[in-house]
Amino acid sequence: MTISDETLMAYLDGELSAEERTRIAAIIERDGVLKARLARQERVLAALKSAFDPALGQQVPERLVSAALTAPVSWRFRLRQTASQLFGGGEANFVPRSAVFAATLLAGVALGLAFQLMQGGSSLVAPEGERLMAQGPLADVLSQGLASENQGEGARVGVTFRSKTGALCRTFETGSQTENLAGVACRTSGGWTVTTLTQVPPRRNPYELAGSGMPAAIRGVVDEMIDGEPLDAAQERRARDEGWR
């Protein structure tokens, strides 16, 4: 009875089924040459173990622990987390995975953008912990602006809606004629968390109504996030007056 090298190796590495293993073990038991071959391989294994296993018991250098705990994390991951928290709620909730995913993709598109904005000292968004928060004129218009009002040149809000997790969220657009950003922000403790941010073509006509040209990508995210219908003008005003709770 011969055993292929392949089988012998699989035997050594514990890759055989219990039945096969028993069969091979019985053959090896009767074959001195096989036994010797196996013994040599066991010595190889023992040498490897004694060379490298001590590394497991050593104290890990502080610089490695510190890297694991503090090294910068990709923005895409942070935004995905934010999106997940906002759309996902607790474990008991049904989470439309696609919503989180769509937001992630979208956020991914704008990743470079978020960096540019922050590095350029943008007054529109700022990182805070693991979130990207609206600030300055963007935070102001999210807190105060109504879609029905003339919101001026800077940032404009589009639709306001309640997400499936209960947060009030608003679409927005900001920018100039050369650069235009669109996104979604949701009311969270401490302000407006930007869950989606993307670059859109500048508006040809500055008098175009906000919301009328909502980018398809943003519309898709809203469709996934929204619970019921968007707020109407009266509901929007009431939500503002009640502090977006």
Partner 1 sequence: MDQPLDTVRRGIVALLPRLRRFALSLTGNASDADDLVQDAVERALRNLHRWQEGTRLDSWMFRLTQNLWIDTVRARGVRKAQPLETTEASHAAVDGAREVEARLIFADTNAALTKLPDEQRAAVALVLVEGMSYRDAADVLGVPIGTLTSRLYRARVALAAALAGEGADPAEVLS
Distances (CA, A) of 3 to 10, 18, 23, 44: 11, 17, 11, 20
Q: Does 224 bind partner 1 (CB under 8 A)?
A: no
Q: Minimal CA–CA distance to 106: which of 19, 34, 194, 47?
A: 194
Residue (55 or 234) nearer to partner 1, CB: 55
Residues 127-146 that bind partner 1 (CB under 8 A): 130
Residue 124 contacts residue 138 (beta carbons within 8 Å): yes
Which parts of 106-125 interact with partner 1 (CB under 8 A)?
Answer: 108
The answer to whether 95 contacts partner 1 (rule: CB under 8 A) is: yes
Q: Which of 25, 26, 35, 45 binds partner 1 (CB under 8 A)?
A: 45
At 199, list the tokens: 């670059």
- In the region spanning residues 63 to 82, those forming contacts with partner 1, defined by CB under 8 A, are 63-65, 67-69, 71-74, 76-78, 80-81
Inter-residue contact 156 to 221 (CB < 8 Å): no
Do the Cβ atoms of 195 and 82 come closer than 8 Å?
Answer: yes
Q: Count of residues binding partner 1 (CB under 8 A)?
A: 51
Exactly one of 1, 30, 32, 60 binds partner 1 (CB under 8 A); that residue is: 60
Report how far residue 183's alpha carbon sits from residue 222's, in angstroms, rounded to the nearest whole number. Answer: 10
Amino acid identity of residue 107, one-letter, is A
Question: Using an 8 Å Cβ cutoff, are 169 and 143 in contact?
Answer: no
Question: Of the candidates 8, 132, 185, 225, which one interacts with partner 1 according to CB under 8 A?
Answer: 8
Residues in contact with partner 1 by the rule CB under 8 A: 5-6, 8-10, 13, 15, 37, 40-41, 43-45, 47-58, 60-61, 63-65, 67-69, 71-74, 76-78, 80-81, 84-85, 88, 91, 95, 100, 104, 108, 130
